[in-house]
Amino acid sequence: MSFSNLFRKKSIAQIQQDAASGYSDAEIIAGDPKLRKTLGVVDLTSFGIAAVIGAGIFSTIGNAAFDGGPAVVFLFIFTAIACAFSAFCYAEFASMIPVAGSAYTYSYASFGELVAWIIGWDLLMEYAIGNIAVAISWSDYFTGLMRGYRVRIPEYLTMDFLTARRGFATVTDLLASGNTLAQIEAMTDIGPAYNAYLAWTGAPVLFGGVHLVCDLPALAITVIITTLVFVGIQESKRASNIMVALKLAVIFLVIVLGAFYINPENWSPFAPNGAAGVLKGVSAVFFAYIGFDAISTTAEECKNPRRDLPRGMLYSLIICTVLYICVALVLTGMVNHKTLQVGDPLAYVFGPNGVDISWVSRVIAVSAVIAMATVLLVFQLGQPRIWMAMSRDGLLPKIFSSIHPRFKTPWFSTIVTGFVVAIPSLFMNLKEVTDLTSIGTLFAFILVCAGVLILNESQPEVERRFKTPYINSKYIVPALLILIWAAFFVFKREAVNNFFSITDPTDATLGAWEVFSHKIPLWLYILSTPVLAVVCFRKNLSLIPVLGVLSCGYLMTELGITNWLRFSLWLVAGLILYFVYGYRHSKLNERTLEG
């Protein structure tokens, strides 16, 4: 095996030829193996809105407003611009390579097979863990909604096994310390431990003393959404459009009705905690935008992908940004921003602590359940198409790319995706690893932005229906980096000193290695930025993709060394699978041997 073979690239023409011929499907299902082309620009925009507007607008926006005050609207604008850097690059790739697979397919053309496998493996983790987290979150919203209508689902059917067992242990320790159950129920610092205790003690005990505790609503919504995705893209499109229309109607209701209850005094001061308070929510707000890229996986089901995919991505990003800004202004105008650190800020401002319009709170609760379902739908739709693209290239078994003769969907990949999401969401607590979704997404964003830079130089002749606007970064990027560092040394000298220190001023118990290890990602980022600045100066790179690499790279450093280690372990597992199976069965490898 030659080292150079690992970075064999697929030409754009070959990628399109393999996709058009249903390369690996012909040996599995007779007849026309192609996916059904049914999506237009409205459908794609709807999918983008469905993916982006979920828990972010129903929960994250409250915490961000609490820290930043009304000025949090600037954070949404800045974050939208940062996302737009990546969105431009995704749009350019989609216009060049209108093929399923998203960042996996784009990396195959720009970086080669090994990097394509890595990003494909990364996307599988991102979508799977993200969907599990969404299913669990949907279950929480749904059970809360049912309690509001006096329908109580048994606690042992609404949470995972680990949460229930840990909650039981916590409450048992408190009881041993002399507290009563009534006192424990009134405690606000133990989170869901009391409900978890009730779930554990109320659960049926199976053979071997195993308690039957599972998140049944999470399983139910996963089965429903997976079935919808399996049946067809037409049905998924209709369901998404209907749910998005309902979701947008509720958000418009909040904006219009809330505008009549705005007290301008709540907007003063506009930035009560200064720039630091606004920027405190940068990571959470950024992750509220993740999802617009998922629609690129449906490229082969678009009527006119070269034209409509770029429009769908950018339209959805613009619409969501406008909605986020309007909702943030309404919320901070209706009540003081200091009261918005709650899990359901939209329902809160219309509840007893706000303007007290109870029917609106109930409508918002229903809308939150719908919003989370649309997020699950889009990502559950995207993941099987990545399996399909990797299988079509020979990196996964052929059955993963087989198309159902009637429904025209990647049926086996859809079923596998359903099991991968449904079973963990039924029993597992993934709060500790959900940041893997974020680090995986940011990694994909970086490769897509870098891929545009590579193809701009290596294949400038390829037709691009959408072109990222070119601005020469020769002087802008070096000057920008110098200004940022100068500002930090002048205005944030204490933060700079803490960064170079081997002790943590907030936690004296941490050792030197523990303090340093958590700074490793940022050190790597700092050391790489001058290199990128030099390349920009010498190669006259396009500014927008470079800013995408810089902004996403910085956000990856904010996720901590623990998530980097988990991410690295996942990639190592993927590399093992690649060398055991993928490299040996690669279609490019077969063509090389035949040649």
- Residue 112 DSSP label: -
Pairwise CA distance, residues 83 & 65, whole Å: 20
Residues 19, 24: Cα–Cα separation, whole Å? 9
- Return d(Cα 427, Cα 222) in angstroms, integer: 13
pLDDT on residue 30: 43
Does residue 419 surpass a pLDDT of 90?
Answer: yes
Closest by Cα among 160, 192, 199 to 428:
160
> 69 in the Ramachandran plot: left (φ > 0), alpha (ψ -120 to 50) or beta?
left
Cis peptide before 310 (omega within 30 of 0): no
Calculate what percentage of the chain has a pLDDT beyond 70.
87
β-partners of residue 140 are: none
Counts of helices then strands in the chain (DSSP H, E): 27, 0
Over the stretch 178-209, which tens digit does the pLDDT of each residue have? 888 888 888 766 767 888 888 898 899 887 77
Phi and psi angles of residue 205, each rounded to the nearest 5 degrees, phi first: -100, 120
Which of 189-203, 296-310, 352-366, 581-595 has the weakest average pLDDT? 581-595
What does the alpha-carbon distance between residue 384 and residue 416 come to, in Å, rounded to a whole number? Answer: 8
Span 312-324, mean pLDDT? 91
Instruction: Say what the pLDDT of residue 449 is.
Output: 93
Conformation bin of residue 287: beta by default, left when phi > 0, alpha when psi is -120 to 50? alpha
Q: Report the alpha-carbon distance of residue 151 to residue 217 in Å, rounded.
A: 13
| pLDDT > 60? residue 510 | no
pLDDT of residue 33: 52
Closest residue by Cα to residue 581 from 41, 121, 50: 121
The tens digit of pLDDT for each residue in 263-302 reads: 899 898 888 888 777 877 766 677 677 778 888 888 888 9
Q: How far apart are the first and last CA of the chain?
A: 16
Give Cβ neighbours of residue 482 (< 8 Å, ≥ 6 apart). none
Q: Which two tokens stand for residue 186?
A: 């009134």
Write down the residue that tokens 């320790």 correspond to: 173
pLDDT in tens, 95-150: 888 888 888 999 998 999 999 999 999 888 888 888 888 888 888 888 878 887 88
Alpha-carbon 433 to chain mean position: 13
Q: Is the pLDDT of residue 230 over 60?
A: yes
Dihedral of CA atoms 497, 500, 506, 509 in degrees, nearest 10, equals -140
**Per-residue pLDDT tens over the stretch 381-411:** 989 999 998 998 889 998 998 888 888 889 9
pTM, full prediction: 0.85
- The radius of gyration of the chain's CA atoms, rounded to the nearest angstrom, is 25
| CB-based contact 221:142 (threshold 8 Å) | yes
Answer for the pair 391, 413: CB distance below 8 angstroms, yes or no: yes
Using CA atoms, how far apart are residues 243 and 51, in angstroms rounded to an integer?
12
| Residues 380/421, Cβ–Cβ less than 8 Å | yes
List the domains of the chain with CATH numbers. Answer: 3-11+39-150+218-450 (1.20.1740.10), 162-213 (no CATH), 469-594 (no CATH)
Residue 397 phi/psi, 5-degree rounding, is: -55, 150
Opening angle at CA 330, ends 328 and 332, nearest 5:
65
Whole-angstrom distance, CA of residue 157 vs CA of residue 143 = 10
CA 586, CA 390: separation in Å to the nearest integer?
A: 9
